[in-house]
C-alpha cells in the first residue's frame, strides 16, 4: 500500500552526470507503483525527463524528492514554502549533513519510504523580513541562517538589536548571524556560535568578529521577535557596503536605517528519515565531534 503516490523530483542544476542519477530515481519511483513528476526548470533537456509530467504546485504532489547536496536542499525549502509536504533528500555522492541517502541506496530504500516506512523529522524555519521605511526588500524563510555582513572594505559597523521591542545591544562587528538550531552547525558554528539541539525552539544570534569581548553569541526563545537596525557611517571610502544573505544563496543590499525582523515560522519543514537518529550520534559521525587529531 503506497503512502506517497505522487512524487515530485527536483535536482541540483549543475550536478555532474545528472541524467543518470535522475533516471535511477525515476525508475525506483515507477517500480514502487508511484507517479514521478518533475521540476521542469531543473530537469529541462535531460533525456530521462522526456515525456514525463511536471508539477507546478505543492498541491500536486505527496512527497518531494531532492537530488543534490545541502545547498540544493536549502534552495528547495526556500522555493517550495509549502511545509506540509514531506521532503526526502538524496545525495549522489557521500551523504551530506541534511541528506538522508545516496543515489546508490535509492533502489533499495525508496520503495520502503513510499510505502510508509521512515519517520518525519521536523525542523523550525526562520522568517526574515527586511524593510526600508515602508518598502519590503525581502520576505523569506531560511532553514539555516540569515547573515548581515559588510562588503568589500573590512570596517566595523553598528547593528542596533532589540528583542521584543527591548534593547539587547548595539553590536559593533563585521556582521551578525541569525540562525535556527538546524543552522547552529553551519556558518554560525564557524563564527564561534554554540551548537544547539535542532528540535529546540530557539533563535541564535552570533556577532561576527565583534569589537567588544563582552558581545558573545546568545540563544533566545523561539517565540521572541528580533529586530536589527543597520547603522552604517560615512567615511573616506564613501560608506560601508552591507548585505543580508539568506542560507548563503539569496541576498539583498542594505542601507543605513534598514530594518531586519526575524521570527520563528509557525510551520516546520518535515524531512522523511529512515530512522530516528540522535543528534549526538550525528555530531560524532558527521562533525567528528570529540575526535582527537591524528598524532
Catalytic residues: 70
How do 119-132 and 87-91 pair as beta strands? unpaired
| Cα(144)–Cα(180) distance, integer angstroms | 6
| Cα(28)–Cα(210) distance, integer angstroms | 50
Helix (H, G, I), strand (E, B) or coil at 22: helix
**Grid coordinates representing 8?**
515530485
Q: Taken in order 190, 192, 196, 200, is the CA torsion positive or negative?
A: negative
User: Cβ contacts of residue 79 below 8 Å, gap of 6+?
Assistant: none
Please state the φ and ψ torsions of residue 227, each to the nearest 5 degrees: -125, 135
Q: Which residue has the cell 551530506?
A: 96
- Closest C-alpha to 31, from 57, 7, 66, 53: 7
Helix H or strand E segment including 245? strand 242-246
**Grid coordinates representing 189?**
558554528
Q: How many distinct helices (H) and strands (E) make up the chain?
A: 6, 17
Cα angle value 79/81/84 (rounded, 5°): 140
Amino acid at each position: 500500500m503506497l503512502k506517497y503516490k505522487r512524487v515530485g523530483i527536483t535536482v541540483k542544476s549543475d550536478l555532474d552526470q545528472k541524467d543518470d542519477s535522475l533516471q535511477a530515481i525515476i525508475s525506483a519511483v515507477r517500480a514502487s507503483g508511484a507517479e514521478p513528476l518533475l521540476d521542469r526548470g531543473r530537469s529541462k533537456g535531460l533525456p530521462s525527463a522526456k515525456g514525463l509530467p511536471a508539477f507546478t504546485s505543492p498541491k500536486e504532489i505527496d512527497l518531494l524528492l531532492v537530488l543534490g547536496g545541502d545547498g540544493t536542499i536549502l534552495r528547495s525549502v526556500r522555493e517550495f514554502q509549502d511545509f506540509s509536504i514531506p521532503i526526502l533528500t538524496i545525495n549522489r555522492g557521500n551523504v551530506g549533513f541534511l541528506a538522508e541517502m545516496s543515489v546508490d541506496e535509492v533502489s533499495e530504500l525508496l520503495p520502503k519510504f513510499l510505502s510508509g516506512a521512515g519517520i518525519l523529522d521536523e525542523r523550525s524555519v526562520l522568517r526574515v523580513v527586511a524593510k526600508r521605511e515602508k518598502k519590503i526588500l525581502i520576505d523569506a524563510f531560511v532553514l539555516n541562517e540569515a547573515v548581515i555582513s559588510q562588503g568589500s572594505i573590512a570596517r566595523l559597523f553598528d547593528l542596533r538589536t532589540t528583542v521584543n521591542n527591548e534593547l539587547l545591544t548595539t553590536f559593533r562587528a563585521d556582521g551578525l548571524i541569525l540562525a535556527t538550531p538546524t543552522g547552529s552547525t553551519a556558518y554560525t558554528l564557524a563564527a564561534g556560535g554554540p551548537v544547539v539541539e535542532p528540535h529546540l525552539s530557539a533563535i541564535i544570534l552570533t556577532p561576527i568578529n565583534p569589537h567588544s569581548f563582552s558581545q558573545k553569541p546568545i540563544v533566545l526563545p523561539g517565540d521572541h521577535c528580533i529586530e536589527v537596525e543597520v547603522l552604517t557611517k560615512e567615511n573616506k571610502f564613501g560608506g560601508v557596503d552591507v548585505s543580508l544573505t539568506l542560507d548563503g544563496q539569496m541576498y539583498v543590499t542594505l542601507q543605513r536605517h534598514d530594518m531586519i525582523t526575524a521570527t520563528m515560522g509557525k510551520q516546520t519543514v518535515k524531512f522523511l528519515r529512515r530512522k530516528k537518529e540522535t543528534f549526538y550520534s550525528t555530531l560524532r559521525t558527521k562533525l567528528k565531534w570529540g575526535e582527537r587529531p591524528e598524532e
